[in-house]
A and B are shown apart, each in its own frame.
Chain A
Amino acid sequence: MLWFILKRILWSIPTMVLISIATFIIIQLPPGDYVTAYIAELEETGESISALEAEELRASFGLDRPLVVQYWDWISKIIFYGDFGLSLDWKLPVSDLLWDRIALTLMISTLSLLLTWIIAIPIGVYSATRQYSVFDYLFTVLGFLGRGIPDFLLALVLMWLGFAYFNFHVGGLFSPEYADAPWTFAKFWDLLAHLWVPVVVLATGGAAGLLRVMRANMLEELGKPYVETAYAQGMGEREVVWRYPVRVALNPFFSTVGWALPALISGDVITAVVLNLPTTGPLLLRALLNQDMYMAGGFILILSIFTIIGTLLSDILLTLTDPRIRHA
């Protein structure tokens, strides 16, 4: 068991190296570089710079050196100093821009993931144990509706409702007066007051999909002979259902926790843009649009690392919950 975890951790090291190389290649792939994009931007406003100036600009960003050198320069700073480089676009250190937003993103996403599970698991279990009942049909309809309505649309509806009827400011995570203020209890309270909207929006869509998965998993498990064995032992329905099939039906959840983590960070970009959330999604979008390579690279790298950590977590959870994997 311990050896298994250690082995997984060791394996993740070469994986990260490969990912960092792949990341670097990806951010180099689009034709042109930041300077080209910069020049284009200047030309739009009628200004222009000479070829010499452009070369100097390139040199000052280190864009004229061989790729291998650029890669080593980039990755060694990250490893040894936690320095993700300078955002060419924002003219600020990438790490300053990122970490702030990652914390908020993690908070929103974790809360919405929890809410998703709290909604989806009991309803899924109920729907499966009372298949074709009135409530099963009702939840099915609601589930499809929740799945069918795009998150951003739901966000718009909530914003409109809040604004038109409750005189409630729902965009962003902070009221304007707290946005740049230092952390105080009042600011925290303000955050909570804003937080529920994106959390609910993100959770409904997820829960709708997840409860269908849970229902299907449960239906499959409920038909298995071991459930009948449990009844024949003398257990009541509630105990049978929660003790046996639910545990097995949760396995697919555990194995996808790993993917939830990176999805949490990249988040629902559209929803975040609509709701004007200071999360990572919009930042990544902007970095990609502007060919802000260090910014985008740092992003992709962190996402990848979260993917690896998430997968590791999944593996560990699965070995804990499923003896068949533990002994394999």
Chain B
Amino acid sequence: MRDAENLLEIENLDVKFEMRDHTVHAVQGIDLTIKPGEVVGVVGESGSGKSLTARAILNLMPRSAQTSGSVLFNGRNGPVSVLDHGRESRVMRELRGGQIGMIFQEPMTALSPVHSIGQQVMKTLTLHTDLRKAALEDRAAELMDLVQLPDPRGMLKKYPHQLSGGMRQRAMIAMALSCNPSLLLADEPTTALDVTTEATILNLIRELQEKFNMGVMFITHNFGVVAELADRVTVMNHGIIEETGDIDQIFYDPKAAYTRKLMSLIPRLPEYAMADNVEAMVPAQPKEASREQAEVVLKVENLKMHFPTKKDWRGRTVEELKAVDDVSFDIRRGETFGLVGESGSGKSTVARAVLRAYQPTGGSVQFKAPDDKFHELTELQGDSLRKMRAHMQMVFQDPYSSLNPRMTVEQLIGEPLVNQGETNGALIRDRAAMLLERVGLNADMLSRYPHAFSGGQRQRIGIARALVTNPSFVVLDESVSALDVSIAAQTIDLLRELQETLKLTYLFITHDLSMISNFAGRIGVMQKGKLVEAGSTVTFFANPREAYSRRLLNAVPIPDPRRARALREAREQQALSA
């Protein structure tokens, strides 16, 4: 194993936490090597120990962690056995930021909110270089330029909240690369970003990695991202390594059963979405035919939701944000309408305006209630609105913050019934128990609190809560985005099964094109508050009409390394000839 050519050698790394009555083995016997200039993808679901491994390389684990094994980093001044040095030691502080750079997932919270971008980048430089004053600022501006941020000098004076997510992540990368590290640790750096932004950030990381011949440890849960970037892949599960191999081997000939299972669960774009000869690949669409027969249950016409952003001294709006601008679509009984777009495109606002969480500033929303009549939702008030809410419910994105931690499962699921005026406790209890079993949990869990459940189970509770009033229309707002691959797959199956048996109509808001391509019958694309394209899923993926839709589609990372390489070469050829 010992190899002078290796940049990083992790041998038999163990990390455990002693709890009051048990021990948590977070990382068990990990071996991992990274060569200079090599990109190693570390893939795993949450709790697999991948982030903790990266922290161990920097010796920045929680203080209660107990470690054994060795982490050897071949630095500029010879090899350093990381775990033998104290967390606060000079040796470690010189490595961090100086020779090992790290970028994090949340570009909003990973930068200090009260310091300017320039202050933060220059801080790293002052810690590790002799640059001062003007030279310091020159170098910082040079770095802004390196990560392709516009107006490098001006950028230094900006604060994180003034930048978009993608720009913040670029600043983060600039900070990590400021002292020419030989190893870059990237912990889910694109997970919080839109597909289009993700694609540009991945490109940037690849470019810089090649330019500076850096070793990169790229942690992600997304196989598509790995396929775009990695030379080798390590698959982790519950603190152990399931398998490590060359990228092609992992993707086309996975050895471990766990890898094979994950591979089979990854949502993929349909073949026809990537084929050159579309007609040959497009399957006959029975869904499309049945859709025409089903009746329309939701008619959205010229929906507008404008928020005032600036008022003059008389309180009149002088500037407004057109979050939803003139959006029209209809949804038929039993279908899934997928609403996609980048963050800030207004897709969630559409959902909230339709459900009347917001009072739309214009347009109409007609909903066919079980009484078989259309109701104008925008005009409903008070009691009639509350009654109507029984028929339309919502499942939220974050299973952690969307359940009140101080309410039992019974109270959580029963709450919509209580809001509808139901006072019979036994009835509420029975109904909650029934739904809990319906979503695959046990009825005897009714008296527990949300913290006793995993993310996937919580999302099931959220679904049960949405279904308790027997709605016919359910809005799914990124309802599987926060879940791990395998849990997301199970949740999708559950949603699909519920839709069929309960004849539910879904409005599915998501940024995940691969996932929605297998679920929705029709797709609508939102951009800057407008619905730029709407049509059948097949038509959309096979032949998107708008340039914006094509851009979205092209940005989706494909879990197919050969294809990713071919695409990249084609793009480079194009760039050369142009």
Q: Which residues of A contact B (CB under 8 A)?
A: 224-226, 228-237, 244, 247-248, 321-324, 327
Contacts and interface: CB of A to CB of B under 8 A. Distances in A.
A30 B56 CA distance: 70
B127 A232 contact: no
Interface in B417-460: none
23 contacts: A226-B110, A226-B112, A229-B104, A229-B110, A229-B112, A229-B172, A229-B175, A232-B97, A233-B97, A233-B123, A234-B96, A234-B97, A234-B98, A234-B127, A234-B128, A235-B93, A236-B88, A236-B93, A244-B115, A247-B114, A248-B114, A321-B114, A322-B114
B305 interface: no
A233 B127 CA distance: 8
Contacts of B60: 228, 231-232
A231 B159 CA distance: 20
A231 B110 contact: no
B112 A323 contact: no
A232 B97 CA distance: 6
Interface string B67-96: 000000000000000000000100001111
Interface in B107-138: 109-116, 123-124, 127-128
Given A231-B96, A232-B60, A244 B88 contact: no
B114 A232 contact: no
A323 B159 contact: yes
B287 interface: no
A225 B159 contact: no
A244 B110 CA distance: 12
By Cβ-Cβ distance, the 4 closest A-B pairs, closest first, are A234-B97, A233-B97, A323-B159, A234-B96
Nearest to A248: B114
B162 interface: yes
Contact of A234 (B93, B105, B106): B93
B102 interface: yes
B94 A226 contact: no
Contacts of B175: 229, 233
Interface in B150-174: 159, 161-162, 172
Contact of B102 (A224, A232, A237, A323): A232
Given A232-B176, A234-B97, A234-B124, 6 more contacts: A224-B109, A225-B106, A225-B110, A226-B111, A228-B60, A229-B104
Nearest to B89: A236
B167 to A, nearest CB: 15
A234 B114 contact: no
Contacts of B193: none
A244 B112 contact: yes
A228 B111 CA distance: 10
Contacts of A236: 88, 93
Contact of B162 (A229, A230, A235, A327): A327
A228 B172 CA distance: 13
A109 B445 CA distance: 55
Contacts of B102: 229, 232
B113 A232 contact: no
B201 interface: no
A232 B58 contact: yes
Nearest to A245: B112
A327 B158 CA distance: 10
A276 to B, nearest CB: 45
Contact of B113 (A228, A230, A237, A324): A324
A1 to B, nearest CB: 14
Nearest to A131: B63
Contacts of B112: 226, 229-230, 244, 248
A46 to B, nearest CB: 62
A325 to B, nearest CB: 10
Contacts of A321: 114
B93 A225 contact: no
Given A225-B109, A228-B104, A327 B96 contact: no
